[in-house]
Chains A and B, each alone.
Chain A
Amino acid sequence: MGWPFTSANVLRKDGKMSSQEENIKIRTSGVTVHYGAAQALHGIDLDIRANEVTALIGPSGCGKSTFLRCINRMNDVIEDCHFGGKIEIDGEDIYSGEIDVVELRARVGMVFQKPNPFPKSIYDNVAYGPRIHGLASSKDELDHMVETSLRRAGLWQEVHDRLHTSGSGLSGGQQQRLCIARTIAVDPNVVLMDEPCSALDPIATAIIEELIEELRSQYTIVIVTHSMQQAARVSQRTAYFHLGHLVEHGDTDRIFTNPANKQTEAYISGKIG
C-alpha cells in the first residue's frame, strides 16, 4: 500500500525543512485558533510540499478540519473565531492585510465533506467560478474551461450530453466529482479536501482517490480524512492531530509503518479514536 516515496528523507522528526530543497508550498508556524474561549488549535507548525498529497488524520474534534479551513481563511466568517500565528503560501503571509480573501480562495480551492453542487445546471456549476473571476473572455473559452475541468475531474464522459441538466440530479459520487471540477475550474494551485469521500460508497471513493492521485501532478492537495486506509492510499505525507496539537507528521509510509509517537501508533492501529 501507499505510493512510492517522493522524498529522500524518510525519518525526519522535527519536520522543518528549508523551502529550497523541499519545494515547500504552504508553511504554517504557530497557528492557533480560538472559538470564543475554547482553543481549538495549539501552535501548529507544518510544512506542506507542492505537488504532494498531505493527509491530516486524527480523532473527531482534534482540529484537523479547523486547520484545513485556516488555509483558505474559511474560518473568517465564523463569529468568535480568532486566528493566531502565520500561514505562508509561496512565501506570502495569507493573513496579512494585503491579501484579498476572495482572491486567496480562488488560489486555494476547497472540496467539502458533503457534495454541495449549486442548484443550477452542471455547466453553470463549473462555469460559476470562471465567470465571477472573469477568467473567460468568450463563450467558447468558457465552454472549453468547463470541458477541461470536467475531463480532469473524470466526469466528462458521464455528463457531456446533459450539461444543462441540474447538478443535483447526479449520484453522490458524481456530485462530488462535479464539486472537484468546480474547484479546479478557477485554476487554483492548492486544493483542500475536507473528508471528500465520507458520504460516498466504496466504488465512488475509489474513483475520487484515483482522481486525487492524478490531480497531484498539478496541484498541492491537503486532505482531511477519517479513513486511515485512505490516508495511506492517497497521501505522500501524513500529519496526525490530537486535541488541537500536531502530534506527528512525516512521510506516510513511515507514519503508518513506524510511528515515532505512542499516540499516533495507538490511533493508526485502531486502539483509540
Chain B
Amino acid sequence: MTDRGPQKNDPIRAARQAQRLKKRYRKERRFRAFGMSAVLLATGILAFLMTSIVYTSIPAFTHHNLTLDVTIIAEEVDILRDDQGLVTNVDANWLGFVRTALRDSFPEVTSRRDKRDLYKLLSIGAPDAVRDAVQADPNLIGQTIQVRLPLSDDIDLVMKGLIDRNLPETDRLVSDRELAWLDKFIAEQRVSENFAIQLFANGDSREPEMAGLKGALMGSLLTMLVTLLISFPLGVLAAVYLQEMAPKNRLTQIIEVNINNLAAVPSIVFGLLGLAVFISFFQLPRSAPLVGGMVLALMTLPTIIIATRASLASVPPSIRQAAMGVGASRLQVIMHHVLPLAMPGILTGTIIGLAQAAGETAPLLMIGMMAFIVDTPTDVTSKATVLPAQIYMWANNPERAFVARTSAGIVVLLSFLLLVNGLAIYFRKRFEKRW
C-alpha cells in the first residue's frame, strides 16, 4: 500500500535484506539447537540415573527359596484353642524342625561346626515360614510337609550370580562346602526363585532377606497424612486471608516477606524446632509420625501459601467484579468463584509441597524418625520411620544384599511419589474450568 516501490527493487537493498534474514534464521536455529541439547542432556542424565537404580534394584524383588520336607512332630507342638475349639495359636521349636530337616538331607554332616555351617544355608526367617504354614492349616501337625524356606542372603546372591563362584574360596563369602550343599539341592530341584513378598510384607530387619518396607511405607503414609491435614487447611486459609482480605499495611508486608523467607530455611532447622518445641516443650512422643508430620507441615506451609496466593492472584478480576456486581459478599465472591477457579493451582502447590516433604530426611533426624524400627506403625503416635530414612539406613548396612534392597527402596519411593503426582493431575483435571 505504501509507495516505496522503487526501493524494493533496489538490488543492494534486497541483498542486504536477504542476508539479514538469513542471519536471523541462523540465530534461531542456533538457539533451538542449544535448547534441544539442554533438554537432551537433562533427560539423558535422568534416564541414566533411573536405569541404573532400577537395574540395581531388580534382584531385590525376587528371592530364592529352598523346598524342604519338614516333619512336624505332634508331641512337640502346643496348640492353643478358643472357646469354640478353633486353633488360635500354635507354638513349637520350629527352628528345631527346620534343622532336623536340613540334617536329614545331609546325614554325612556330623560335627557341631559343620552343622552350624549347614544351618547357615537358610535364612533366620525360615522357622517362621514353617510356623505360618502350620498356623494356616493345623491339620498338618504330625505330618511331613514340603515347605518353601527362604535361603540366606549370601546363598541368594550366589544364585543370582552376584557372588562369583569362580573366585578363590578365601575371597568369597560362601565356602566351597556350602556351594556343594547348595548344588545338591539345585540338582534335586529344591531351589526356586520367587517374588520377594518380604520386601513389602515385612518391617525392617538386620537380615537383608527379611528386611521389608512395610513399616517405612506405613510410616510415610501416616506422616504425610498428618502433614496434609495440618498444612493444607492452614496454608490455604492463611493465603486466602493474606491475598483477599488483609489490609495492605506494614504488618502484612512483614508477614509476607517472612513467609517467602521461610521457604528458603534449611529443613534441618525445622527439625531442631520440632525437637525443641513439640518434643521437649509439648512432650509429644519421639519418633512418631505425629511429630514428623507436624514438622514437615511447617516446612510445607510456605510452599502451599505461596502457590495458593499466586493462583488466587491469577483469577481474572472480571470474575470478582461480576460476582460483586450481582451483590455477592466478599466471602461469597471468594468461596463461590475465586477459590474454585484457583483450586487447580492450589492443589498443584500442595502436591509439590507434599512430595518435597515425603522425600525429606533432615528434619526427621532430629526427632528420632531415623531409627531401626521393626514393627509397623498402627497410628500416628507409634514409633515409625519413613521411606527416605529407611533407604538411608539400608545404604549404611554392610551386607551385600542391602545394595539391591536400597535401590528397591528408592524405586518404591519414586513410585509412591509418581502415584501421588498422578493423583494430583487427576484432581487438577477434575477441578479445572475454562473461562
Contact = CB atoms under 8 A, between A and B. Distances in A.
A116 interface: yes
B321 interface: yes
B329 A79 contact: no
A97 to B, nearest CB: 17
Contact of B318 (A105, A116, A132, A166): A116
Nearest to B341: A119
Contacts of B327: 102-106, 129, 132-133, 186
Nearest to B320: A77
Given A112-B318, A114-B318, A105 B337 contact: no
A118 B337 contact: yes
A116 B321 contact: yes
Interface in B314-369: 316, 318-319, 321-329, 332, 336-337, 341
A235 interface: no
A77 B325 contact: no
B325 A105 contact: yes
A250 interface: no
B248 interface: yes
Contact of A112 (B248, B321, B328, B332): B321
Contacts of B322: 112, 116-118, 179, 182
A79 to B, nearest CB: 6
A128 B433 contact: no
A77 B341 contact: no
B435 interface: yes
A148 interface: no
Nearest to A128: B326
B325 A74 contact: yes
A128 B319 CA distance: 13
A181 to B, nearest CB: 11
B434 A166 contact: yes
Interface string A248-262: 000000000000000
A118 B318 CA distance: 9
Interface in A125-150: 128-129, 132-133
Contact of B326 (A114, A119, A168, A186): A186
Interface in A164-188: 166, 168, 179, 182-183, 185-186
A21 B239 CA distance: 53
Interface string A57-91: 00000000000000010100101000000000000
Contact of A77 (B248, B316, B324, B433): B324
A182 B326 contact: yes
A179 B324 CA distance: 13
Give the residue among B327, B328, B336, B433 with the most A Cβ atoms within 10 A.
B327
Given A118-B337, A119-B341, A119-B434, A183 B326 contact: yes
A109 interface: yes
* B contact patch SS: helix
A105 B326 CA distance: 6
Contacts of B324: 74, 77, 105
A56 interface: no
B326 to A, nearest CB: 4
Interface in B272-320: 316, 318-319
Contact of B435 (A79, A119, A132, A182): A119
A149 to B, nearest CB: 11
Nearest to B316: A116
A269 B434 CA distance: 43
Contacts of B329: 102, 132
A184 to B, nearest CB: 10
Given A112-B318, A168-B435, A118 B323 contact: yes
Give the residue among B325, B336, B341, B435 with the most A Cβ atoms within 10 A.
B325
Contacts of B248: 79
A110 interface: yes
A77 B322 CA distance: 13
A115 to B, nearest CB: 9
A81 to B, nearest CB: 13
Interface of B: 248, 316, 318-319, 321-329, 332, 336-337, 341, 433-435
10 contacts: A74-B324, A102-B327, A106-B326, A109-B326, A112-B318, A116-B319, A119-B434, A132-B326, A132-B328, A168-B434
Given A102-B328, A128-B336, 13 more contacts: A77-B324, A104-B327, A106-B326, A110-B325, A116-B319, A116-B321, A118-B323, A118-B337, A119-B319, A119-B433, A128-B326, A132-B328, A182-B326
